[in-house]
Amino acid sequence: MRSVLTHTPEEFRDALVEEGVEGFRAQQILRWLHGRGVREFAEMSDLSRELRADLGNRWSTRALELREAHVSSDGTEKLVLQTGDRSRIEAVMIPEQDRRTLCVSSQVGCSLDCSFCATARLGFGRNLDAAEIVDQVLHASGRLRERGERLTHVVFMGMGEPLLNLREVVRAIRVMTDPGALALSRRRITVSTAGVVPRIAELGRQVRVRLAVSLHATTDELRNELVPLNRRFPLASLLQACREFPLPPRDRLSFEYTLIDGVNDSEADARRLVKLLHGLRAKVNAIPLNEHPASSYRRPSPDRVERFASTLARSGVTVSVRRSRGDDILAACGQLGAVRAAPAAADATVSDGRLR
Ligand code: SAH
């Protein structure tokens, strides 16, 4: 079976023509799938009956099955999705006033082993393919559509390191941004990396999307400890790659900085951060640590967070403190994959793929 989900309209048309199907069918099918969330060829009423049956034998429109959906008291939704080989991944939908942001996973687990992140405990499973990445978006859009809402933003900040799966991530982004497919704006897609330096330039060459860099420390000594990838790609090389990243006019890079009590949240850290970012068009997202049982790191007090942020702001660095969303359902940054609910508990939250 081939997957419709990995094809841009142009590619899908070529593939159908090669099979002897009229090219314009591609657009019809993708409109059903991406525009209306219809997965069954049988329901695509403007196709002939023979064609509907025929397509179903060769093409699949699904890559993931929804296993659990958890809704946080703040409206954040965590979707637990199962792949064909029974791995589980998570995607998180974060509603804000005028935004609906989906945080997608790019790998099963993660190989980077950042010391404060729950996903690291899972170890690395495998790369997701483009169909599995796109299907996270389709699942979320489908749920939003039922309420008359639309997905507006996608961030690659779920499980995994997207730049270690660049080919499939780029392919998924092409489908997400194609006007004839998911039609999301490139400016509303953010790829976040822990700093796979050579791939930053590569990403910039392949697609125009926003870049976020998970910094978390201002010295190599500390960053080696928090983000072991830093031993291969130290801070100076990372910041150099950031300076060279092709930024559209008026756009900015984002730097994520998880604040850990007594580890990286001092005034001296803030001042070093200001220096490091000098000359970059950048903003800082400070994320007070989401604690988890397997780690002894703690979240700083609101006072310390405030002091860190205001030191940056006073020096002219744009900073926002990311409010933790969905931490009651382990959907917040760094909590994905933290607990695998028992199947019985899972069934209590979902029926027919809808929330009770
Ligand atoms: N591997 C990519 C994509 C994951 S993004 C990257 O590192 O950028 C997930 C973000 O949440 C990263 O910035 C990560 O460092 C941050 N994070 C991980 N664990 C966290 C925790 N316990 N509390 C707050 N943020 C955390």
- Residue showing tokens 């996903």: 119
What token pair was written down for 104?
């997608």
Find the residues whose C-beta lies inside 6 A of ligand 1.
Answer: 114, 116-117, 157, 161, 192-194, 214, 256, 258, 287, 289-290, 333-334
Comparing C-alpha atoms, which of 351, 262, 242, 245 is closest to residue 304? 262
Mean pLDDT of 337-343: 51
Per DSSP, the residues of 217-230 read -SSHHHHHHH-GGG
Given this model, what pLDDT does residue 249 score? 84
Q: Is the pLDDT of residue 14 over 90?
A: yes
Number of alpha carbons in the 13 Å side-chain half-sphere of residue 199 = 18
Among 102, 107, 116, 169, say which to mutate for ligand 1: greatest number of ligand atoms within 8 Å of CB.
116
Give the list of residues 6+ apart from residue 292 with CB closer than 8 angstroms, or none.
118, 334, 335, 338
3 state SS of 38: coil
Given this model, what pLDDT does residue 311 score? 98
Phi, then psi, of 151 in degrees rounded to 5: -70, 135
Given this model, what pLDDT does residue 325 score? 81
Q: Is the pLDDT of residue 335 over 90?
A: no
Q: Where along the chain do the CATH 1.10.150.530 domains lie?
A: 2-60
Mean pLDDT of 205-221: 97
* pTM exceeds 0.85: yes
Identify the burial level of 123 via C-beta atoms within 10 angstroms of its C-beta, where 0-12 means exposed, 13-18 middle and 19 or more buried. exposed
CA–CA distances in Å: residue 234 to residues 55, 166, 230, 302, 332: 50, 21, 5, 30, 27
Given this model, what pLDDT does residue 348 score? 28
Helix (H) or strand (E) holding 81: strand 77-82
Tell the residue nearest (CA) to atom 11 of ligand 1: 333
Among 89, 216, 257, 287, say which to mutate for ligand 1: greatest number of ligand atoms within 8 Å of CB.
287
353 versus 258: the higher-pLDDT residue is 258
Q: Which ligand 1 atom minimizes the distance to the CA of 117?
A: 19
Per DSSP, the residues of 115-157 read TT-SGGGG-EEEEPPHHHHHHHHHHHHHHHHHTT----EEEE-
Confidence of residue 337 (pLDDT cuts 50, 70, 90): confident
* Chain segment 163-185, per-residue pLDDT in tens: 999 999 999 999 999 999 999 99
Tell the residue nearest (CA) to atom 12 of ligand 1: 214
* Cα of 244 from ligand 1 centre, angstroms: 23
* Chain segment 254-296, per-residue pLDDT in tens: 999 999 999 999 999 999 999 999 999 999 999 999 998 778 9
Comparing C-alpha atoms, which of 26, 49, 30 is closest to residue 38? 30
The residues carrying an active-site annotation are: 90, 333
Q: What percent of the chain has pLDDT over 70?
A: 95
Q: Measure the CA–CA gap between 224 and 230, rounded to whole angstroms.
A: 5
* Chain segment 57-77, per-residue pLDDT in tens: 999 999 999 999 999 999 999
Level-2 CATH architecture, domain 2-60: Orthogonal Bundle (1.10)
Q: Is the pLDDT of residue 210 over 80?
A: yes
The mean pLDDT of the chain is 92
* Cα of 333 from ligand 1 centre, angstroms: 5
Q: Where along the chain do the CATH 3.20.20.70 domains lie?
A: 65-355
3 state SS of 203: helix
Given this model, what pLDDT does residue 339 score? 59
Q: Is the pLDDT of residue 34 over 70?
A: yes
Level-2 CATH architecture, domain 65-355: Alpha-Beta Barrel (3.20)
* Cα of 157 from ligand 1 centre, angstroms: 7
* Cα of 230 from ligand 1 centre, angstroms: 15
* Chain segment 66-121, per-residue pLDDT in tens: 999 999 999 999 999 999 999 999 999 999 999 999 999 999 999 999 999 988 98
Helix (H) or strand (E) holding 89: strand 88-96
Which residues are registered as beta bridge partners of 213?
Answer: 193, 255
